[in-house]
C-alpha cells in the first residue's frame, strides 16, 4: 500500500458546533420551552453555553466514557447537552420517556448512567422511580433555580451549573472511534437493546444527509423543525446536520399534537419538518380545519414507517407540500435511504410520480443494500424480486451494547445487518418496503403486504387510521384482518369498505373481516404497534370458521 500524505485529523462531534458558531454564527435555534415561552438564540450563543456546560460536567466528575442520560423534549438545553457531553469524551444517553417504567429502569441500570438530566415535566415520573434507580445517580433538572419545582429528590438546577463557567473551550483530543452517544431500541421483544454511536459514525451519517441536503430542507436559507424527538436516535441526525449547514433549527418542545404543531409552525414560518406518519395525520387534520397549510411550510419528511399514498397525495395536491420519504433504523444512525427527486423523476407523469413517491428512496451515501431469500441467497435489484433487506456501512452498528445474545442473531455470515424488513429494489436503486418480516401475511403460500393493504384502505375518505394483521385460517394458514378507525361521525360498514378495496387490490388480498375501533395502539416512538394488536386479537376468529 502507498499511504497518502494527508493530515490525520479526527472526525469529532464538537467540531460541528465549532464550525457552526464561526461560519453560521447568526443562524438561529428557536425553542418552545416547558416554561411556556419561546427561547431564541444563535449557534454562536449556543457554543458559549455549551462551553460552560462542558466545564460544569467536568467539575461534576464526568470522565471519558461516562454515560450521561437525558429525559427531555426537543429544546435548546437538550441540544446543548448533545455537544457538551460528547465534546468532553463522555456518552450522551438519550432516554425515551414514553417507555414502560421497567424499560427505563433497565436502560439506566444497563447503561450505568452517572447523571440524569430531566425536564421539570418529567420530575414526577422520576420521583416515582427514584427508589428503584441506582443510589449513586445524580439529578439535574433542566431549568433555572427559580423555576425548580418542589421535590424530595436531591437535585441541581441546570442554569446554576453554568454560572461562573468559561464560555470558551479547547476540546480534548478525542479518538474519532470513541463512543459519543447511546440510544436504546424500544424493546418490542425482550429488553431494549443499546446502540452505541461513535464520533466517526456520527460525522459519516451527517455527511450522508448533507449529500441530499437541499431536497430535505438542509440549507442555510431554510428553517427545519424536527418533530422526531431528540430522545430517539439523535433526532434522525438533525442536531448535527442542521448546524453544520447553517439551517435554522426550530424545536417544538412538548407541542406535538396537531393543533400545537400547526400554531408553532405557522408562528415561526417553518419550511421543513421531519416526523412519523402518526404526527402528520394530526397535522393534516388541523390543516383541513384551517383550510390552509402553516405559513412557509414547503416540505415534510416522513420516516419511522411507510407513508400511505393518500397522505402523500393530500399533502402535495391539496396543500402544495412536498413529501419526501426516508427509511432507516436506530442501528443505522438511523437514515439509510431518502426519496429525493431530481429532474427525471419530477418530469414523470403525475400517476407515475405519485407511485414512485411511495418508495423509501435510494440508499444514502455510505450505506449498502442487499436483499436475500429465505436461504440467504442474494436476489436481483429488478423491482420484482423481494426478500429480507440487509445493510452495511460506516454508520451501521457492528454490535449491540453489552448484549452478546442480541448481537449473535443480528448479522448474516458476511457481516451484514439484518433489518427485519421485506423489500424490493428497482434497477434505479429505489427501495420499496413490502412489509416487516413479522408483519407480512403468508396466505396459501403467497405473501400479502400489510403496508400496501393499509395504504389502499386509507384512500377511503372516512378511514382516519388503520392496520392490517394476520389471523389464523384453517385452509390458508393466515388471512388479513383490517382494523380501522373512522373519521369522527362517519358510518361505514364492513361490506362497503371491502367493496371499496375490491377496485384497488387483488381479490385474494381482500381482508376476510373488518373491525372498527376507536383508537389504535402506538409504540413509544409513535409507530403503530402491531404487536399490541396481535395480542389484543389473539383469540379472534374469522366469520364462517
Catalytic positions are 185, 331, 442, 447
Beta-sheet strands, E only, within 476-532? 477-486, 513-516
CA distances (Å), origin 96, targets 30, 151, 239: 22, 22, 17
Distance of CA 58 to the CA centre of its chain: 31
CA distance 148 to 150: 7
Cα-Cα end-to-end distance for the chain: 69
Q: Are 188 and 529 in contact (CB under 8 A)?
A: yes
Beta bridge partners of 446: 443
Q: Is 48 left (phi over 0), alpha (psi -120 to 50) or beta?
A: alpha
Q: Are 204 and 250 in contact (CB under 8 A)?
A: no
CA distance 283 to 332: 28
CA distance 212 to 194: 28
Cell numbers given for 450: 400489510
CA distance 500 to 459: 9
Q: Are 338 and 212 in contact (CB under 8 A)?
A: yes
Cell numbers given for 153: 429528590
Crossing angle of helices 277-290 and 258-268, rounded to 10°: 70
CA distances (Å), origin 263, targets 185, 237, 266: 31, 25, 5
Q: Which of 392, 41, 28 has its CA nearest to residue 224? A: 28
Compute the Cα dihedral for 246, 250, 253, 256 and give only its sign: negative
Amino acid at each position: 500500500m502507498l499511504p497518502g500524505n494527508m493530515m490525520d485529523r479526527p472526525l469529532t462531534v464538537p467540531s460541528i458546533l465549532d464550525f457552526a458558531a464561526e461560519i453560521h454564527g447568526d443562524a438561529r435555534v428557536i425553542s418552545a420551552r416547558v416554561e411556556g415561552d419561546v427561547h431564541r438564540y444563535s449557534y454562536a450563543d449556543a457554543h458559549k453555553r455549551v462551553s460552560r456546560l462542558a466545564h460544569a460536567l467536568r467539575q461534576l466528575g464526568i470522565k471519558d466514557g461516562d454515560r450521561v442520560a437525558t429525559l427531555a423534549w426537543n429544546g435548546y438545553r437538550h441540544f446543548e447537552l448533545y455537544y457538551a457531553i460528547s465534546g468532553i469524551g463522555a456518552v450522551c444517553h438519550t432516554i425515551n420517556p414514553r417507555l414502560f417504567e421497567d424499560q427505563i429502569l433497565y436502560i439506566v441500570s444497563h447503561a450505568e448512567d452517572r447523571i440524569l438530566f430531566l425536564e421539570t415535566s418529567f420530575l414526577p415520573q422520576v420521583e416515582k422511580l427514584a427508589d428503584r434507580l441506582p443510589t449513586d445517580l445524580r439529578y439535574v433538572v433542566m431549568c433555572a433555580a427559580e423555576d425548580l419545582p418542589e421535590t424530595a429528590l436531591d437535585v441541581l438546577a441546570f442554569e446554576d451549573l453554568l454560572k461562573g463557567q468559561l464560555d470558551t473551550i479547547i476540546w480534548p483530543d478525542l479518538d474519532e472511534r470513541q463512543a459519543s452517544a447511546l440510544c436504546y431500541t424500544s424493546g418490542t421483544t425482550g429488553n431494549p437493546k443499546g446502540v452505541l454511536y461513535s464520533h466517526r459514525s456520527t460525522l459519516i451519517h451527517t455527511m450522508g444527509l448533507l449529500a441530499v441536503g437541499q431536497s430535505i430542507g438542509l440549507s442555510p436559507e431554510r428553517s427545519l423543525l424536527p418533530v422526531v424527538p431528540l430522545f430517539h436516535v439523535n433526532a434522525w441526525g438533525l442536531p448535527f446536520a442542521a448546524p453544520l449547514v447553517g439551517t435554522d433549527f426550530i424545536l417544538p418542545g412538548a407541542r406535538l399534537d396537531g393543533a400545537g404543531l400547526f400554531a408553532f409552525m405557522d408562528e415561526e414560518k417553518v419550511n421543513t419538518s421531519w416526523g412519523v406518519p402518526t404526527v402528520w395525520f394530526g397535522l393534516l387534520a388541523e390543516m383541513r380545519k384551517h383550510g390552509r397549510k402553516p405559513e412557509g411550510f414547503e416540505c415534510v419528511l416522513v420516516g419511522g414507517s411507510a407513508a400511505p399514498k393518500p397522505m402523500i397525495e393530500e399533502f402535495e395536491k391539496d396543500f402544495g407540500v412536498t413529501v419526501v420519504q426516508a427509511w432507516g433504523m436506530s442501528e443505522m444512525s438511523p437514515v439509510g435511504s431518502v426519496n429525493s427527486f431530481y429532474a427525471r423523476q419530477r418530469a414523470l407523469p403525475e400517476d407515475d410520480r405519485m407511485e414512485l413517491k411511495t418508495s423509501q428512496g435510494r440508499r444514502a451515501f455510505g450505506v449498502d443494500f442487499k436483499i436475500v431469500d429465505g436461504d440467504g441467497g442474494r436476489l436481483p435489484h429488478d423491482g420484482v424480486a423481494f426478500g429480507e433487506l440487509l445493510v452495511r456501512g460506516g454508520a451501521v452498528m457492528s454490535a449491540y451494547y453489552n448484549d452478546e445474545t442480541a448481537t449473535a442473531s443480528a448479522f448474516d455470515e458476511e457481516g451484514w445487518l439484518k433489518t427485519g424488513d421485506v423489500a424490493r429494489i428497482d434497477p434505479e436503486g429505489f427501495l420499496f418496503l413490502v412489509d416487516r418480516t413479522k408483519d407480512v401475511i403468508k396466505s396459501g403460500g403467497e405473501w400479502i403486504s400489510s403496508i400496501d393493504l393499509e395504504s389502499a384502505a386509507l384512500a377511503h375518505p372516512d378511514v382516519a387510521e388503520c392496520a392490517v394483521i394476520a389471523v389464523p385460517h384453517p385452509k390458508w394458514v393466515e388471512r388479513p384482518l383490517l382494523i380501522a378507525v373512522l373519521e369522527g361521525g362517519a358510518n361505514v360498514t364492513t361490506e362497503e369498505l371491502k367493496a371499496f378495496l375490491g377496485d384497488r387490490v387483488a381479490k385474494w388480498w381482500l381482508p376476510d373481516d373488518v373491525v372498527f375501533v376507536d383508537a389504535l395502539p402506538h409504540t413509544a416512538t409513535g409507530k403503530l404497534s402491531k404487536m399490541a394488536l396481535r395480542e389484543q386479537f389473539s383469540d379472534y376468529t374469522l366469520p364462517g370458521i
